[in-house]
Amino acid sequence: MDWSAICDEALGDFTTSALPPTLSLPALPHAVTLYLEKVKDPDVGAKELAGIIETDSGLTLELLKHVNSAFMGVRNKTGNVQQALSLLGQRQSKSFIVTTGMQAAVRAKKSKLINQANFWNASFQKALFAKEVARLLKTDTEVAFAGALLQDYLLPVITNDLFQQYLGFIETRESQPVCLCEFENATFGWEHSLAAACLARRWQLPDELVCCILFHHHGLKILAHPELGRSPVAAVALSALLPDQLRQHLQGLELLTKLGEKWGAFDVAEIAQKVDEQHDELGLGMRNDFPLSRRCQQASATETPDYNDGTLALAVA
């Protein structure tokens, strides 16, 4: 699949210059920027790349914590960055370092509207959910995980800098059936997925991850896409229908439940339970105060909407 061509077509001529000049976009940590520059050079060895990571104590700590966690299943713990990069491999190392750097850049910004601890916990739940869906779709689980984790990374920044507009969305949420991206397009002329994908590409994020960010609000219709319907992008788009602080899609859970009625292998409640179990087992030091399975229980008690445009039939064909 030509991820670069898909990005080019979807982004069109949109650039970050279309965003308000008052918007304070985050910057990647210097170590991440330098790593991305050096990793493209075949003459740069693992020792030099490890040395770059070691200049950033926070990045070093997160890398070692990740590699030594239950998530990786490494039997012998390592305190060596070079060894950690070797265990991950270049592709996963690059994805992890960029993902961690992006999170750090966003966390450094204040947010008046979003509780960042809850935000990143919900993002982690979506990432675990997307990974399970990717298994069902028989596609790349690691890309799905990273893409889902990053899908909304820019929201804490733009909801803070454009606080009054987003506050209006929150205050009228019950009377607004539209999803967040529809509100953004009507209010700003762009949506956060477009802005985030554009910035991520400027940061040299792999194009498959940029696509995960770019298309994450396409909902169930992504499953009918001839190229993306069985890709990590589809897994991320399904995870985006899960509930979060901003209630981006009021009917997200109902749509996922409806999908389960058509696609026998997909059970949102069962996947949510797996997510909570994995969350508890992985040992990443992130509290799960709002288990996904508890929030998903409301889906079975709510009437599901009709979905008569043929998307579900195409999705499970």
**Long-range contacts, 69-77 (Cβ 8 Å, 24+):** 69/282, 69/283, 69/284, 70/281, 70/282, 70/283, 71/282, 71/283, 71/284
pLDDT on residue 280: 80
Q: For residue range 15-49, what is the model confidence (pLDDT) as tens digits?
A: 988 899 888 888 888 999 999 889 888 899 989 99
Q: Which domains does the chain have, with CATH numbers?
A: 3-11+111-315 (1.10.3210.10), 27-108 (no CATH)
pLDDT on residue 245: 84
Averaged over successive runs of 10 residues, the pLDDT of the chain (317 residues) comes to 92 90 87 89 90 91 82 71 88 85 85 86 91 95 91 92 92 83 93 93 87 95 94 97 88 91 91 89 67 72 42 43
Q: For residue range 92-107, what is the model confidence (pLDDT) as tens digits?
A: 888 888 888 888 888 8
pLDDT on residue 74: 62
Q: What burial letters (b/e) apply to 8-30, b meaning 16+ CB within 10 Å?
A: eeeeeeeeeeebeeeeebbebbe
pLDDT on residue 25: 87
